[in-house]
Amino acid sequence: MGRIQILADDLVSLISAGEVIENPASIVKELIENALDANATNIDIRVSEGGMESIVISDNGSGILKEDCPICTLRHSTSKISRREDIDAILTYGFRGEALASIAAVADLAITTRHEDEKIGTRLVSRAGEIPAQTDASRPQGTTVEVTGLFERIPARRKHLSTPKVESQRILETIMKHAIIRNDVGFRLTKDNKVIIDCPPGQIAETRVLSLWGPDIAESLVDVALTDQGVTVSGFIARPPMSRGNRAREYFSVRRRPIEESRLSNAVETAYSTLLMKGCFPICAIDIGVDITRVDANVHPTKREVRIQDIDSVTEIVKDAVKNALADVEFPDVTQSLEEFVEVASAVGEGLESSRTMLPAEEQATTVRRSGLLEQLALEEPKGLGEKRINLEALGGTFRILGQVNKLYIVLATDNGLVLVDQHAAHERIIYEKLREEVNSDRVVVQELLQPIVLRLGPKDAEAILGLKEMLGELGYTISHFGGNEVLVSTLPEVLGRRASESELIALVDRIMKVGVKSAKEQFMDELVKLTACHSAIRAGQHLSADEIRKLLTELSRTESRYNCCHGRPSIIRIGKDELDKRFGRTGQEAMARFKARLRGQTRKSN
């Protein structure tokens, strides 16, 4: 007897259900999409114990006809297609016909519905091992689906569910993806009798984001809009430096249906390029409108992914759309509190010897003391200061140079507070934009070395660097094999030539190896430009004269993205007078109490 056999229908149903229903959030997703396909304008979701006890979803959509109820839970039953040609022009959230059937296979299911053309509603109850029972019911137009006892008949599946708290978070994230993208529809989530989301229909994007993501993100929204080659990109992004530590707030949809697509994430992150720090990710909600015949919406059982014809062109259009949106943005000054500044200064200056201890006693400047990470900051006035004021409209007006702190931060005074400039980050931004422009226009200025530098590398690094010979050449490095594991460097980009040494270049090679050629040439070239800019920039601990400070600030004011370095770290921090007044107790309740005490004292004296 052969070993291959045809599986029983009930076992096939369980396997199919496992492809569609992974956890309670999968059920919520499928039922929300059914409601949207029914043109619902309000969707109410109620869950108990992370959906493991019950999930109830109600909508005011068109409802299900009484005669369709008996077959709506059967496999491959759908109202979305009826002939082969329909597959190429699906306008709904999908047509696999597996959602209700899959839910009925792994849980108890009750559907109460009334179609818009009927006066009496219908209730269908489906339980394992029983014939579904159908009765008349009373309800307004729309559909309510109740799911209970998820995976109770399949203990092996149920034990792999997470805690109710984790499952609730998954449900919340699923609802937010739809609610952000479909701000024309109202969403309400009640978790264990507590309302978590309550968004009415017809909200503008900013109001919907305010409700779901908070005021900071809502205030930083920038519209994205571009149509090219039959592709329409719309939605919004968050203005830097607003970001997240992962991709959880990168929302994408095709024809307003949420999807997951790493290539779209890469396109948006590439567009942000140097505007965000390493490890920070953009915040966006972007919808892609394409002709329906260019989309296959059913390549994934749960419809999380779609196949888009000519995806490479689409990702380029998305990248251009985000770049255009960022180019039109007036970046505000980066404002930071004193506490935040001290934390940043401590992190960057960690390991540096205090500049105060390096100075002779007669040159020591005023020291600001504080407890915690940074014990003292010494302000050193640069030599040759002369005229202290510098007028830079691009940076916000006239500044007075006060000096350097730890030979790392340039301190400036304005009429409305203080401005702190990270000299390394500022110079890095200047060099990056200059070199990036030279690379893009094929006119990199190189420096011929009178005495070429020989790099003695390991076999792996030598082979890898020689393999990058062409790309490094575009950046201004001329390299050749010098025998064994040695590499000869005969030219350098001019910006690096002033300080290049064997140790410096080997350190650069080490960092290039860490980057690796993982992505397309354009992205890798951009990484090389960043590395070169970083290695040629003014270092922390380097003393600057007054003229050097003026030149640095002038050049920084001419850059496009002057508020951060090419790795996204802030280069300028402003501490406003209001913040200083607050920290010194000149505003707020304490200041008012002192003012009243003075008044009382003056009154007593006058008496």
Whether the pLDDT of residue 407 is over 60: the answer is: yes
Q: What is the pLDDT of residue 353?
A: 33
As a whole number, mean pLDDT of residues 149-174 equals 85
Tell me the C-alpha distance between 259 and 238, whole Å: 20
CATH number at residue 422: 3.30.1540.20
How many Cβ atoms are within 10 Å of 427's Cβ, its own excluded? 26
**Domain endpoint, select from 197, 228, 253:** 197
pLDDT tens per residue, range 208-249: 998 888 887 888 899 999 999 889 999 999 988 788 878 888
Least confident of 82-91, 512-521, 579-588: 82-91
Instruction: Say if residue 41 is in the same domain as residue 164.
Output: yes
Q: What is the pLDDT of residue 21?
A: 78
Dihedrals phi, psi of 374, to nearest 5 degrees:
-115, 110
pTM, two decimals, is 0.61
**Cα angle 197, 198, 201; round to 5:** 130
User: By three-state DSSP, how is residue 274 classified?
Assistant: helix
| Average pLDDT over the chain, rounded to an integer | 75
How far is CA 391 from its chain centroid?
36
Closest by alpha carbon to 432, among 326, 527, 530? 530
Confidence band, pLDDT 50/70/90 cuts, at residue 393: low
Tell me the C-alpha distance between 400 and 414, whole Å: 6
The amino acid sitting at 330 is E
Confidence band, pLDDT 50/70/90 cuts, at residue 414: confident
Cβ pair 188, 60 in contact under 8 A: no
Whether the pLDDT of residue 383 is over 80: the answer is: no
Instruction: Say if residue 312 is in the same domain as residue 387.
Output: no
**Domain endpoint, select from 281, 305, 327:** 327
Q: What is the pLDDT of residue 120?
A: 92
Close Cβ partners of 556 (under 8 Å, ≥ 6 residues apart): 395, 421, 426, 429, 430, 562, 571, 572
Instruction: Say if residue 169 is in the same domain as residue 31.
Output: yes
How far is CA 577 from its chain centroid?
32
Q: What is the pLDDT of residue 260?
A: 83
Confidence band, pLDDT 50/70/90 cuts, at residue 4: low
Enter the tokens of residue 275: 């505007």
Whether the pLDDT of residue 141 is over 90: the answer is: yes
Instruction: Say if residue 193 is in the same domain as residue 226.
Output: no
Number of domains in the chain: 4
Instruction: Say if residue 379 is in the same domain as residue 450.
Output: no
Cβ pair 357, 519 in contact under 8 A: no
Confidence band, pLDDT 50/70/90 cuts, at residue 532: confident
- The domain in which residue 510 lies consists of 445-535
CATH number at residue 513: 3.30.1370.100
Q: What is the pLDDT of residue 529?
A: 72
The amino acid sitting at 153 is R
How many Cβ atoms are within 10 Å of 218's Cβ, its own excluded? 18
Q: What is the pLDDT of residue 357?
A: 32
Dihedrals phi, psi of 522, to nearest 5 degrees:
-60, -45
Pairing of strands 42-48, 186-191: parallel
Whether the pLDDT of residue 263 is over 50: the answer is: yes
Instruction: Say if residue 178 is in the same domain as residue 246.
Output: no
Is residue 413 in some structural domain? yes
Q: What is the pLDDT of residue 595?
A: 60
Choose between 17 and 492: higher pLDDT: 492
Element (H, E) at 427: helix 423-440
Pairing of strands 250-254, 284-289: parallel
Least confident of 216-225, 350-359, 482-491: 350-359
Is residue 437 in some structural domain? no
Instruction: Say if residue 376 is in the same domain as residue 421.
Output: yes
Least confident of 129-143, 200-214, 363-377, 507-521: 363-377
Cβ pair 317, 228 in contact under 8 A: yes
Closest by alpha carbon to 533, among 407, 437, 408, 399? 437
Pairing of strands 295-296, 221-228: unpaired
As a whole number, mean pLDDT of residues 118-136 equals 85
Q: What is the pLDDT of residue 336?
A: 44
- The DSSP secondary-structure symbol of 85 reads G
Confidence band, pLDDT 50/70/90 cuts, at residue 363: very low
Tell me the C-alpha distance between 493 and 447, whole Å: 6
Instruction: Say if residue 30 is in the same domain as residue 171.
Output: yes
Tell me the C-alpha distance between 306 and 545, whole Å: 58
Instruction: Say if residue 155 is in the same domain as residue 18.
Output: yes
Instruction: Say if residue 375 is in the same domain as residue 462.
Output: no
As a whole number, mean pLDDT of residues 499-523 equals 62
Tell me the C-alpha distance between 264 and 306, whole Å: 12
Is residue 474 in some structural domain? yes
As a whole number, mean pLDDT of residues 180-201 equals 93
**Domain endpoint, select from 327, 357, 387:** 327
Instruction: Say if residue 356 is in the same domain as residue 299.
Output: no
Is residue 4 in some structural domain? no
Instruction: Say if residue 130 is in the same domain as residue 258.
Output: no
Identity of the highest mean pLDDT range in 1-10, 226-235, 309-318, 577-586: 226-235
Is residue 593 in some structural domain? no
pLDDT tens per residue, range 67-99: 888 877 775 445 443 444 444 444 444 443 457
Confidence band, pLDDT 50/70/90 cuts, at residue 296: low
Is residue 2 in some structural domain? no
Strand partners, 456: 486
Is residue 25 in some structural domain? yes
Q: What is the pLDDT of residue 361?
A: 35
Identity of the highest mean pLDDT range in 190-199, 358-367, 481-490: 190-199
Confidence band, pLDDT 50/70/90 cuts, at residue 449: confident
Least confident of 309-313, 321-325, 584-588: 584-588
Q: What is the pLDDT of residue 360?
A: 37
Q: What is the pLDDT of residue 307?
A: 72
The DSSP secondary structure of 489-521, one letter per residue, reads EEEEEHHHHTT--HHHHHHHHHHHHHH-S-S-H
Choose between 562 and 1: higher pLDDT: 562
CATH number at residue 51: 3.30.565.10
Confidence band, pLDDT 50/70/90 cuts, at residue 174: very high
Report the Cα–Cα distance between both ends of the chain, in Å, rounded. Answer: 116
Identity of the highest mean pLDDT range in 134-138, 338-342, 490-494, 560-564: 134-138
Confidence band, pLDDT 50/70/90 cuts, at residue 186: very high
Cβ pair 301, 557 in contact under 8 A: no
As a whole number, mean pLDDT of residues 183-203 equals 93
Least confident of 61-65, 133-137, 572-576, 600-604: 600-604
Percent of the chain with pLDDT over 90: 22
